[in-house]
Amino acid sequence: MLQEVHVGHKFLADYQSVVVRPLIEEIRELAEGLKGARVLHINATSFGGGVAEILYTLVPLMRDVGLDAEWRIIMAEQEFYEGTKITHNALQGNAIGLDETQKRIYEKNNRLTSESLGKGFDFIVVHDPQPLLLRHYAGDLGAKWIWRCHIDTSTPNQEVADYLLPYIQHYDTALFTLNDYVFKGLDIPIKVIAPAIDPLSTKNMALSPEDADYVVSQFGVEPDRPLLLQISRFDPWKDPLGVIDAYKIVKKEFASVRLALVGSMATDDPEGWSFFTSTVEHAGDDSDVLILSNLNNVGNLEVNAFQSRADVIIQKSIREGFGLTISEGLWKAKPTIGGNVGGIPQQITDGESGFLVDSVEQCAEKCMWTLDHPKEAKIMGRAGKEHVRANYLTPRLLRDYLKLFTELKG
Ligand code: UDP
C-alpha cells in the first residue's frame, strides 16, 4: 500500500535572502519548461532520518515552482522492514544478507504496492532500497523512473548488491551522493547529487542563544556547562557508543562537560529500540549524559535548540551516506566533528571548517581542543557555514532535480 504524506507550503521567494540570486533565477527558468509535470516521490518513512527530512522541503518547493509533486510512503508488514533494514546494513558493508524468505517478502510487498501506483506521472523518484522493486513490478507506466540511493554503498555486501542490481537496471537513471557509491556493473545513466538541508525550516532557522538556552533548559541542560551533542538515529553505524567513550575521556579533563545524545525512532527502523537500550546501558548511571528521543518530545525546534546551544557537535559515524546533521551543525556555525567516512569529508575540510576523526581518542582530542580554543573553533564554524550555504541548501538540490527532469524529458 502507498500512503500520501501531506506537506505544508513553502515558497522559493523566501529563500532569496539565503542563497545567491542566479540560483533562484536558474530554478525559475528550469521550472518554466516543467510546468504541470507530475512528480511522485516514494520512500519508506515520513518520519525520522534524512530522506524524510529532505522530502518535507523538496516536495513543497517543487509545487511552488509549478510542478505537480507528491510524496507517498510504502506501507508494509513488519517483516518487510526487518528485511529492508538488513538490506540497508548489507549495502553499507554488513556481512549478513537476505535469506530466501526475506527476499520473497521484499518482492511480495513491492509487487502488491506496485498495483496501487496509478498512472499519469511524468517522473517517479524512488528513494533507497525499500521501494526499489516497484519499477520492476509496475512497468514504466509512461513515466521516467529515477532511483535515488542515499546510502553509503562504497563497500557493499556483494551478494546483496548483485541481487538488487538487475532491479536498478530497469530505471532511467540512478542518483548517488558520491561517485564512490555507484554500484559496480550498473550501466544506466548515473548522476552524483548531494542532499541538502532547509535553512528556513524549524530545525535550521536562526534561534537566539536565549531561546536555545530556554528550550534545552526544559531538558535539564544548564546554560553554563559545556555541552557535547550528537543527533542521530540509534544505529550502530552512527556509533553513539563511541561518542560516549569519547565523552568519558573528555570528562577527565573537563569535569563540568555534559553529553546529549538525541535520536529519533524511525518507523522503518526496527533495530532502533534494542540499540537505544544498548546505548543507555553503555552510558551507565552518569547523570551528565542525557539520552533523548522524539518520545521525549524532541521535535525539530528542540533539535535546533540543542544544535544552537551545543559547544561541540559530533557525528562520529562509521558509515554515512551524507550526514545531514553535519550540514545542520555547520549551518549554525558550530564547531563540528565528524567521522572521516562517506559524505562527511565533503562537508568538513579537516582543520578548516571542523574536524574529521577516525577513532574515539581522536574524537575526544578534537572535542578538548575545541573546548580549549573557542575563538578558533568559532572561525572554523563560520567557514563551515559558508561552505553549506554554497553547496548544501535545498534550492541547489531543487535546481539539480529540475535539471535532471529537463534532461530526461528532452
Ligand atoms: N533527526 C531528528 N531527530 C532525531 C535524530 C535525527 O530530527 O532525534 C534528524 C536530523 O536532524 C537529520 C536527520 O534526522 O535531519 C538525519 O539525517 P542524516 O542524513 O544525518 O542521517 P540518516 O538518519 O538519514 O542516516
Per the CB < 8 A criterion, the answer to whether 233 and 270 are in contact is no
* Fold category of 209-391 in CATH: Rossmann fold (3.40.50)
Does the CB atom of residue 342 touch ligand 1 within 6 A?
no
Residue 15 has pLDDT above 90, yes or no: yes
Mean pLDDT score of the chain:
96
Q: 100-146: per-residue pLDDT in tens?
A: 999 999 999 999 999 999 999 999 999 999 999 999 999 999 999 99
pLDDT reading at 80 higher than 90: yes
32-60 pLDDT tens trace: 999 999 999 999 999 878 999 999 999 99
The model's pTM? 0.95
Reading the block at residue 302, the C-alpha cell is 528542540
Q: What is the pLDDT of residue 268?
A: 67
Instruction: Look at ligand 1, atom 7, and give the residue with the nearest C-alpha.
Output: 300
* 264 CA: nearest ligand 1 atom: 8
pLDDT at residue 267, as a whole number: 66
44 lines ligand 1 (CB under 6 A): no
Q: Is 354 in the pocket of ligand 1 (CB under 6 A)?
A: no
pLDDT-wise least confident of 13-17, 194-198, 270-274, 290-294: 270-274
239 C-beta closer than 6 A to ligand 1 = no
Instruction: Please name every residue paired with 124 in a beta bridge, in sequence order, or none if there are none.
Output: 40, 145
**CATH of 2-196+393-409 among 3.40.50.2000, 3.90.1150.10, 3.40.50.300, 3.40.50.2300:** 3.40.50.2000
CA angle at 398 for the pair 395 and 403, rounded to the nearest 5°: 125
Residue 197 CA: which ligand 1 atom is closest? 15
Distance 410 CA to ligand 1 centre (A): 35
> Which amino acid appears at position 24 of this protein?
I
pLDDT number for residue 48: 79
Q: What is the pLDDT of residue 113?
A: 97
Q: Which amino acid is at 77?
A: E
Nearest Cα residue to atom 17 of ligand 1: 50
Q: What is the pLDDT of residue 286?
A: 97
pLDDT of amino acid 294: 77
Asked if the domains at 2-196+393-409 and 209-391 fall in one CATH topology, the answer is yes
Check whether 232 has a pLDDT greater than 70.
Answer: yes
Read off the pLDDT band of 173 (50, 70, 90): very high
Q: CA–CA separation, 149 vs 1, rounded Å? A: 21
> Can you give the pLDDT at residue 264?
79
Strand partners, 393: 197
Q: How far is CA 202 from CA 24, 216, 299, 305, in A?
A: 22, 15, 9, 10
pLDDT (average), residues 376-380: 97
Cα 12 to averaged position of ligand 1 atoms, centre (Å):
23
Q: What are the pLDDT digits (tens) for 255-285?
A: 999 999 999 776 667 778 889 999 999 999 9
Quick one: pLDDT band at residue 293, thresholds 50, 70, 90? confident
Is there an atom of ligand 1 within 6 Å of 235 CB?
no
Give the residue extent of every domain in the chain: 2-196+393-409, 209-391
